């Protein structure tokens, strides 16, 4: 097994990657400021990893619209600094990217070779990170993923279930579609990629696709919460950052691990949190979920 260093080890994905990759060591924000080149080089020289899984990031999508320079500094320049420091010690780097590098106008799922065109400051900062990593370190993996949820940190599922327990009715947008991705499934796929002869861009996201409304409705149903979830449009629920209408990612690379259907991930997450109350009706479960 390769020696792995995880940046952003205190975050939602970083903590799970540490748990899912045996022997991995982590560096939190306090231990490694990714925008400090001297510190990055010192940490990499001390740890001498084979791979860096770069989970440290600016993740506030709406906040990035107010402070685009900071998002670009962290997600773009910071990623380049870590990638260069990794290259100096002979290490490869896994950069965690996003569905937001696409504009969402495509009428079918996005694959690795599709043209990028981010429509938000956050998306532009993640694309800048992809480019910086590619230029700084030949031994790189760009892992694009989407709609993350998992046991650490704030996520959509937790927010919806908190609100659903407080209210009789919720409205959730139905005209944005994507691939909800359970962080444990993603972390295990990253571990597989590190052991495979894989390089370049890979799309690693939950199987299937749904709208935020469908995702919320299923979470509420499986958790047994009595709340009426209703669909609304993006126009009815404006946010500072524009979102791609279509965020569906599909993998075409032979080496890319295929994740279980998003419903499988959701059930696993709710079970992990002790919130799973309702089992799915077999008659309404797609075959890929029933066998997943």
Q: Point out the residues that are catalytic.
A: 122
For residues 265 and 273, the answer to whether their CB atoms sit within 8 Å is no
DSSP one-letter code for 116: P
Closest residue by Cα to residue 241 from 119, 58, 125: 119
DSSP secondary structure string, 43-94?
Answer: HHHHH--SEEEE------HHHHHH-HHHHHIIIIIIHHHHHHHHHHTT-EEE
Q: Which two tokens stand for residue 230?
A: 């209703």
Residue that has been written with the tokens 């749904």 in this structure = 210
Dihedral sign (CA 83, 112, 124, 21): negative
């Amino acid at each position: 097994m390769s020696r792995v260093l995880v940046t952003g080890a205190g975050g939602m994905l970083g903590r799970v990657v540490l748990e899912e990759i045996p022997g991995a060591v982590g560096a939190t924000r306090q231990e490694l400021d990714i925008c400090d080149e001297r510190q990055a080089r010192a940490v990499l020289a001390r740890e001498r990893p084979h791979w860096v899984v770069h989970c440290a990031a600016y993740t506030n999508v709406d906040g990035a619209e107010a402070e685009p320079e900071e998002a670009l500094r962290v997600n773009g320049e910071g990623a380049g600094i870590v990638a260069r420091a990794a290259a100096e010690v002979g290490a490869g780097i896994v950069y965690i990217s996003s569905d937001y590098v696409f504009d969402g106008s495509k009428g079918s799922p996005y694959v690795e070779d599709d043209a990028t065109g981010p429509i938000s400051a956050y998306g532009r900062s993640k694309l800048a990170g992809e480019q910086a990593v590619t230029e700084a370190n030949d031994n790189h993996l760009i892992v694009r993923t989407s709609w993350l949820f998992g046991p650490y940190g704030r996520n959509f599922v937790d927010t919806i279930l908190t609100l659903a327990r407080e209210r009789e009715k919720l409205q959730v947008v139905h005209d944005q579609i994507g691939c909800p991705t359970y962080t444990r499934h993603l972390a295990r796929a990253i571990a597989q990629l590190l052991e495979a002869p894989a390089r370049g861009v890979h799309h690693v996201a939950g199987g299937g696709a749904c709208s935020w409304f469908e995702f919320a409705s299923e979470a509420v149903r499986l958790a047994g919460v009595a709340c009426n979830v209703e669909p609304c449009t993006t126009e009815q629920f404006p946010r500072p950052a524009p979102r791609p209408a279509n965020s569906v990612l599909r993998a075409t690379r032979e080496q890319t691990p295929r994740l279980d259907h998003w419903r499988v991930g959701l059930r696993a997450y709710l079970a992990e949190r002790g919130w799973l109350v309702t089992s799915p009706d077999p008659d309404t479960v797609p075959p890929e979920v029933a066998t997943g």
